[in-house]
Amino acid sequence: MRLRLVGFAVVAAAALWALAAVSWAMETHSMYRWDLPAGFPTPRVPPDNPMSDAKVRLGRRLFYDKGLSVNGQASCASCHRQELAFTDGRATAVGATGESHSRSAMSLVNVAYNSVLTWSDPNLRSLEKQALVPMLSEHPVELGLKGREEAVLAALRADSIYAGLFREAFPEPAFTLANVAKALAAFERTIVSARSPWDRFHYGGDANAISEAAKRGEVVFFSAEIGGCFRCHGGFNFSDATDYAGNTRAPVEFHNTGLYNLAGAFSYPAPNLGIYDHTKRAADVGKFKTPTLRNVELTAPYMHDGSIATLEEVVDHYAAGGRTIADGPLAGRGHENPHLDRRMTGLHLTAQHRQDLLAFLRSLTDTEVAGDPRFSNPW
């Protein structure tokens, strides 16, 4: 009988806690209002991490907090600098301890709309899970928190500002690594870039928002007969790996754009083999996600490994239908890569087309997002 009562009490307590949590979540969720411009759908938000202003505030602080690194030298913002559209300007990212990552830091602009995350992990679809990767990864060390989780949480708990922020953002127990990730994810979802000159032209009806060259470049970009860029960089987010609330999830395509064609077992240099790393299918070597082109002017160098320095060279790469590296260990004709994407046929771009296409790409630069105080360092 006594056991039954104890059991009942435990179940009742759990139920009450769950009810309170759900009620809290519903309350905070219902309070959040997306400030989305015309044409931008509501991002998909996981049911277990509803958006709230409190969570976004907390996430922003955490994002810029160097205390979330092994040596107090780095934060998320170290590799995702606002002025560079939340990239780092490096070919490949560098962790808190100086270890180099093998790939380029991806922009966090409009990350809320990414159907998959990182360059080449077809299974990573949750920002909450992704946020834990740089914190805990060891190969390479990014923020280097593996094995220091409790110490970090204790430090957060001891901080009076965090104490308030966590209390507002989460029900008890608030101070968990999962909640840190949730708050970071919530903040990152708010980084929406939609105020570029092209947006003002396309959605805002402002005929003078972009130059005539950019207007011509838009035709080049969206014409199958000329540039055909939209075939992969399509939609409002200029990427074919886009998702949002209410969207029917389609399989995400990854593309081999002929950056390399090495002799030997793998046509791409290790360790960046594309989604092959996950699928182990030979045909998947060199296949990477299509990143958004929003703010592309700010995100050099380009490609998954930062191996193309300028936007001009990127256009030339696509015009050539792949990159030819004449000599050295990476020598090869990318256009002849056996798994080259079928769209990489090369382009007949006139000098005017090239110049106009570049003008169009630069019209996607949202200077406001790069300086928006809502996304800036609160420290």
Q: Which residues bind another protein (CB under 8 A)?
A: 38-41, 201-209, 212-213, 215-216, 218-219, 222-225, 228, 230-231, 234-236, 348, 350-353, 355-356
In which element (H, E) is residue 174 found? Answer: none
Range 270-275 contact pairs with CB under 8 angstroms and sequence separation of 24 or more: 271/102, 272/102, 272/103, 272/119, 272/120, 272/304, 272/305, 273/120, 274/119, 274/120, 274/304, 275/120, 275/121, 275/122
CB nearer to another protein: pick between 24 and 203: 203
Token representation of residue 47: 């049911």
CB 268 within 8 A of CB 216: no
Return d(Cα 251, Cα 324) in angstroms, integer.
Answer: 30
CB nearer to another protein: pick between 164 and 235: 235
Name the minimum Å distance from CB 231 to another protein.
7
CB nearer to another protein: pick between 139 and 348: 348
CB nearer to another protein: pick between 218 and 341: 218
Return d(Cα 181, Cα 188) in angstroms, integer.
Answer: 10
Name the minimum Å distance from CB 354 to another protein.
9
Tokens 């430090």 sit at which residue? 155
CB nearer to another protein: pick between 152 and 210: 210
Query: What is the DSSP-derived secondary structure letter of residue 100?
Result: B
CB nearer to another protein: pick between 65 and 199: 199
Name the minimum Å distance from CB 296 to another protein.
18
Can you tell me whether residue 302 is helix, strand or coil?
strand
Name the minimum Å distance from CB 185 to another protein.
25
Residue 118 — φ and ψ, nearest 5°? 65, 180
Q: Which residues of 190-212 are buried (b: 16+ CB within 10 A; e: fewer)?
A: bbbbbbbbbbbbbbeeeeebbbe
Name the minimum Å distance from CB 238 to another protein.
12
CB nearer to another protein: pick between 2 and 342: 342
Name the minimum Å distance from CB 371 to another protein.
24
Token representation of residue 358: 């570049």
CB nearer to another protein: pick between 201 and 288: 201
Name the minimum Å distance from CB 51 to another protein.
21
In which element (H, E) is residue 271 found? Answer: none
CB 74 within 8 A of CB 143: yes
CB nearer to another protein: pick between 160 and 248: 248
Closest CA to 109 of 232, 242, 231, 211: 242
CB-based contacts of 251, cutoff 8 Å, min separation 6: none
Return d(Cα 63, Cα 75) in angstroms, integer.
Answer: 6
Name the minimum Å distance from CB 44 to another protein.
16
Return d(Cα 223, Cα 18) in angstroms, integer.
Answer: 53
Q: How far apart are the first and last CA of the chain?
A: 56
Name the minimum Å distance from CB 39 to another protein.
4
Query: What is the DSSP-derived secondary structure letter of residue 168?
Result: H
Name the minimum Å distance from CB 223 to another protein.
4
CB nearer to another protein: pick between 11 and 224: 224
Amino acid occupying residue 253: E
